[in-house]
Amino acid sequence: MKRLLGVAAAAALSCNATAQLLDGFVYYGAALQGHAYDDLLLKNRLNAQGRNLGYRLFTGYQFNRWVGVEIGAQQLGDADFLLKNATDTNVLAQTDFKTKALDAKLVLSYSFADDWFVRAQTGVLAWRNNRTDISLSPLTSTKLKTSGQDALFGAGLGYSFSQDYAMTLELEKSKVAGQAVTGISLNLMTKF
């Protein structure tokens, strides 16, 4: 009898899991991103200037109301770092920092009102960075290409306009080429 109850319980759990998987959906999205970088170490007198916006294209699968996975490709916002003379503010050196990346995330969601939800995510960011250091006295230029992976963590607040469209505002932290990166993004998603 215990064996029969065990088989029945396993079958019921299996059907429930299958039903939850069938209840899932695929979604696509695009994001506009802004990134803040820690100062690069360039003679310890560095000011970050001229940040540009980045973007991300992504797709995901929401298994149920709480758990999903997401993959994306992104161009992080470029950063231009200037080293200035402390007395006359002349530019002594410049560093350009450009990064492209792929990411994979586990996304946890919780709906706290009819149309509002929160998201938390963790995953991996695989990046390729191009860094150009230019010194003006004497004039020299050094280019460095690096690639690597790092963990990423984030959280956000979302709003569903309808059953098929949602928008989220998210904050995310990671590292690229040894530099801490904080990103804020505005995401638009559509169900497929």
Its pTM stands at 0.77
CB-facing half-sphere around the CA of 42: CA atoms within 13 A: 26
| pLDDT at residue 114 is higher than 90 | no
Pick the closest to residue 144 from 127, 129, 155 (CA basis). 129
133-166 pLDDT, tens digit per residue, is: 777 777 777 888 999 999 999 999 999 999 899 9
Q: Is the pLDDT of residue 184 over 60?
A: yes
Work out the pLDDT band at 88, boundaries 50, 70, 90.
Answer: low
- Percent with pLDDT over 90 in the chain: 50
pLDDT digit string (tens) for 2-25?
443 343 344 334 433 443 445 689
Instruction: Report which of residues 136 and 43 the model is more confident about.
Output: 136
The predicted structure's pLDDT at residue 172:
95
Token pair for 66: 């709480």
All domains of the chain in start order, with CATH: 26-191 (2.40.160.20)
Does the pLDDT at position 116 exceed 80? yes
pLDDT of the residue at 154: 97
